[in-house]
Structure 1
């Protein structure tokens, strides 16, 4: 029996002898594309976030050439297209403000063009969820290829990690332990090559999530950006995407609830970024997969953190790759029975088949289960009258003795108030105080900037204080560390309880009990709420107004309300 040949989506543009097909093919031929490449060959879109303004993605133009080779080898037609690139290092006020905008760019670029399958080229942290969200809404065959981390940072013989050592060195400068000249000398040593942060920040976390979800190729998480094997991975992905199109394996068939459950557990094992919580919930919602904060707490609670990487540990992504990478981590935790080994991947193999015989080559970097960095890793979800809809903390990056703490609040109404007040010698603050930052959530900033890991007051740093409990509705960089409670929902700007906290109010944090309580009576809070008025936003026109009007809260992934759900890749109407 002859197998029926699948009708390619691109044939609606390029197939046949009609006027429209003539026009579509003719204009494309000005690039020197031969006739036969329009004759039933799958068209593979290479969705590229290359930008010199996004340093982590500045090498992706070269990586796209490796993808292109693979697509040609497998009998496809590769066509590269740019989309908005959101780099956290340069973009103000925060790249997170534009994640949803980039996802809209991706979705409409895919849907509106003759594309049968797509490779997503990503790097700096928001580009990964943005492209996955946009592609998920279209649900075509898809593979994500990350750009890879930078080589290990090095400063005077010491390994230094991107982001992590910025926070550390800057606090050393404020405390008088490091000179400004030495601080500035570390700049180039931190960024020695192309690639994204080589700590387990959000970029490396999301690259790991891509691999754990099965939507990327094996070793996607950790191959350094400048290692030739990154190019090999990209070329193999180019070959494989053509096969996925021929087999009609769509994104939704890979990104199932079981795949997301695997990713949450892996995030706990690697000590991944708290930002992954928001991003995976947003991707899942685009696919109609029910994923919540409760899933994060339930699935990650008993997973030990076994990857000894900064900011939680000692090593960096280059070391992680040489030790065996994410496959070795997944192999280790698979022995506990907590992974869905039958989850399918874009390779055509299951997770179990990919990790079944993997070796851990360095048990200092990837620790044995009986010697973890943190016995209970994952992301802890806190609830209470200060966070009715939840808040999160990363236990592996926190100080153990502060995980149960009670102290008086020192309140900063917004980030400008924090900067104006934090180093005032007259500030009434001690190591036992709880620093509270308001109005930095999705609507409040707007965009929910990475300011939740507030640097400590200079006078306390000089006393030797290295960590304090900090609470906000903001995010923090995955490269940061400390006992930092984030994503408090509802946020202050919409009248959440965080908005009502005053200097001197007592707050209790109990991570083991998953509680975050403001010791103020219900009646007092009600009275304060009557007197509360929402803050004025810095900008009230254009995209930022759209964002403020439609963004969901952190516990729901900060997507736009009108983007939740899958719209598919129905072929748009002809205009000729």
Structure 2
């Protein structure tokens, strides 16, 4: 209780005053002398992904008490993807700052981070990495699947599939209303390999969460037991002084990137891992990551790249079984929150039984990594595509650009029957990057123009400087950098230009001569923030002034570690 005392000029009085107030809550001196474990409570009535937070807090508290510590919960911001305007990504850095400052402000020996929805786990790990104390991640867990007309369904890949059928006129108003009530079977995060599931699994792979903790669904006894064990282990972390920087090392981040690829995980995972790594002085090397991708098959058969759901992954053995399939490609000496190495943990978790959710290396879902990194005159800073969820016939494609200047332009014209567009064209959306939107929303999943959807078109090449949900599928190029709003080449693409995508060559190019591109750049007098007026005040201004590009995690420059320690993954 003597940590981080307010300064009244008399430390003794500061501690006396603190104890006087906390004793008003009924604590004894014996309780206050114990190891203090903070529990970050991100429960919110607007966050169904965290709808079990209260139960998890109680289970964590039970574990802390069983280990002889004093559990104290405290709230931070709670973000939900569907209840965060303009986008939860815009608020991720704010949540990370809230988490960091609360950890620093309170007298904590260790902290349990309870999060689940897409941006909450990254925000918590970013904040905890900067705060520097012993920390352990506990995810809220995935929702249960639902059922509709004899078919198993789950958010949010099936949400997009049914909405696409509705836009294409295959189902009517009554049916889309009916299915809306069946897609989400319980509280918890999306039941497919979207961003929430990806971050849960890579957190376990990095060793910052307990082995086996990523996959138990939110409303199961397994999830409650994991929470109790997490609380118990937090006391041990404090006793051992096992700070977060000893867990989140170069080896840990390389393991995380390897597992991200094998999961067929969300493209957002790269942005979030870059942000977490940046807090500890590491950069993500996209080219080396792409080399890693070429030798790492997708082994997890979950939607959107496969066919199963998170509860199936849990029953199949979860992340430990996947790690054992990748064992020879991992850094097994990486330390975990258990106090043991990843290799030591895997030695005790060698399960083998027939199933089709976690494939073997000789029977992959997709032969090479789920994500490819692209370069070219449209993306000198890089771009990515989730090739495992793309249409094979579109992985090599040349088409005419149909350009939308921003999200408002897209909404205004995409379903216009007079839109000049064919299935062979390339849809290009500008100004939805970190600065342009601002906040890099998941608008990169550009809808198929309605007139084409009604004609049966299911996929087209789509390009933007934004993101898309990890639950989405399609031939969609994302994170084009530099973004249009800061003057990147994407800004100067016009309708009618020919665009070439080559996954085999890892290229993304607009086929115009270099001198024409320079002429357009010189002729452009619209400034650098074409999508929005420069914010005048508050968090919006801070965001636009400080946010980095996607390859650096869209974090704030002043929050990244001052000393850069290296790049991950390391060149081999």
Give the structure-1-normalised TM-score. 0.94
The answer to whether the 8 Å contact 1:102/1:130 transfers is: yes
Separation in structure 2 between the aligned mates of residue 291 and residue 114 of structure 1, nearest angstrom: 33
Q: Are residues 1:339 and 2:330 paired? A: yes
Q: Deviations over 1:216-253 (max 9, x none)?
A: 01122210000111111111111111111111000000
Report the alpha carbon displacement of residue 134 of structure 1 after superposing the two structures with TM: 0.6
Verify: 1:537 aligned to 2:532, yes or no.
Answer: yes
The answer to whether 1:300 aligns with 2:293 is yes
* Secondary structure in 1 matching 2:473: coil
392-401 or 297-306, which moves further after superposition? 297-306
Secondary structure (helix, strand or coil) at the match of 1:388 reads coil
Equivalences for residues 153-302 of structure 1 within 5 A: 153-302=146-295
Secondary structure (helix, strand or coil) at the match of 1:26 reads: helix
Identify the match of residue 101 of structure 1 among 79, 86, 94: 94
> Partners of 1:547 and 1:287 in 2: how far apart?
21
Alpha-carbon contact 1:323-1:360 (below 8 Å) kept: no
Aligned-residue offset at 1:317 = 0.3
In the TM superposition, residue 491 of structure 1 has moved relative to its aligned partner by 0.2
- Structure 1 residue 426 corresponds to structure 2 residue 418: yes
SS in 2 for 1:411: strand
SS of alignment partner, residue 84 of structure 2: coil
Contact 2:5–2:14 (8 Å) recurs in 1: no
Could you tell me which of 375, 383, 398 is aligned with 1:383?
375
Shift of the 102–17 alpha-carbon distance from structure 1 to 2, 3 Å rule, reads closer
Secondary structure of 1:31's match? coil
Determine the C-alpha separation between the residues in 1 that align with 2:179 and 2:100. 40
Residues 34-69 of structure 1: CA deviation (Å, up to 9, x unaligned): 111222x21111112111111101221210111111
Return the alpha-carbon distance in structure 2 between the equivalents of residues 180 and 304 of structure 1: 40
Is the aligned partner of 1:323 residue 2:316?
yes
In 2: Cα distance, 1:404 partner to 1:366 partner:
29
* Aligned-residue offset at 1:201: 0.5
Where do residues 422-501 of structure 1 align in structure 2 (5 Å cutoff)? 422-501=414-493
- Partner of 2:22 in structure 1? 28
Give the drift of 1:355: 2.3
Deviations 1:185-242 (A, max 9, x none): 1122111111110110000000011101000011222100001111111111111111
Partner of 2:304: 311
Whether 1:556 aligns to 2:552 is yes
Aligned positions of 1:8-157 closer than 5 A: 10=3, 18-39=12-33, 41-157=34-150
TM-score normalised according to structure 2 size: 0.95
- Any conservation in 2 of the 1:200–1:271 contact (CA below 8 Å)? yes
Q: Residue 363 of structure 1: CA displacement?
A: 2.9
Indicate if the aligned counterparts of 1:411 and 1:502 stay in contact, CA closer than 8 A.
yes
Give me the whole-angstrom Cα distance separating, in 1, the residues matched to 2:536 and 2:159: 33
Residues in 2 aligned to 1:308 and 1:75: alpha-carbon distance in whole angstroms: 41
Contact between 1:391 and 1:486, CA under 8 Å: does it hold in 2? yes
Q: Aligned partners of 1:109 and 1:507: how far apart in 2?
A: 48
Contact 1:309-1:365 within 8 A present in 2 as well = yes
C-alpha contact 2:431 2:531 (8 A) present in aligned 1: no
The aligned counterpart of 1:4 is none
Q: Is the 8 A contact 2:43 2:53 kept in 1?
A: yes
| Alignment check: 8 A CA contact 2:263 2:298 kept | yes
CA apart distance, 1:106:
0.7
Alpha-carbon distance, 1:17 to partner: 9.5
Question: What SS does the corresponding residue of 1:18 show, helix, strand or coil?
Answer: helix
- Among 352, 371, 374, which residue is 2:363 paired with? 371
Q: How many residues in Structure 1 have an aligned counterpart in Structure 2?
A: 556
Q: Is the 8 A contact 1:162 1:197 kept in 2?
A: yes
Displacement of 1:170: 1.2
For residues 323 and 220 of structure 1, the distance between their equivalents in structure 2, rounded to whole angstroms, comes to: 14
* Equivalent position SS for 2:520: helix
Task: Please say if 1:394 is aligned against 2:407.
Answer: no
Give me the CA root mean square deviation: 1.7
1:517 counterpart = 2:509? yes
TM superposition shift of 1:112: 1.2
Equivalent residue for 1:410, pick from 395, 398, 402: 402
Contact 2:283 2:552 survives alignment (8 Å): no
> Secondary structure in 2 aligned to 1:46?
strand
CA distance in 2, matches of 1:121, 1:240: 14
Distance 2:35 2:562 in 1: 23
What SS does the aligned partner of 1:53 have?
coil
What SS class does the counterpart of residue 326 from structure 2 fall into? helix
List per-residue Cα deviations over 1:97-143 (Å, max 9, x = no partner): 00001111111111111111100000101000001101100111000
Residues 45 and 13 of structure 1, relative CA distance in 2, 3 Å threshold:
farther
Q: What is residue 574 of structure 1 aligned with on the other side? A: none
Q: 1:423 to 1:290 in 2, by over 3 A?
A: closer
SS at match of 1:290: strand
Which structure 1 segments of 5+ residues have no match? 1-7, 568-576
CA distance in 2, matches of 1:496, 1:421: 24
5+ residue gaps in structure 2? 564-572
Q: Per-residue CA shift, 1:146-174, capped at 9, x if unaligned? A: 00000123212212121211211111112
Q: Is the 8 A contact 1:292 1:556 kept in 2?
A: no
Q: Distance in 2 between matches of 1:296 and 1:224?
A: 30
Cα distance, 1:520–1:144 mapped onto 2, change above 3 Å: same
Residues 362 and 546 (structure 1 numbering): CA distance in 2 closer, same or farther, change over 3 Å? Answer: farther
Question: Does the residue aligned with 2:24 lie in a helix, a strand or coil?
Answer: helix
- Deviation, 1:289, is 2.4
CA distance in 2 between counterparts of 1:81 and 1:185 reads: 39
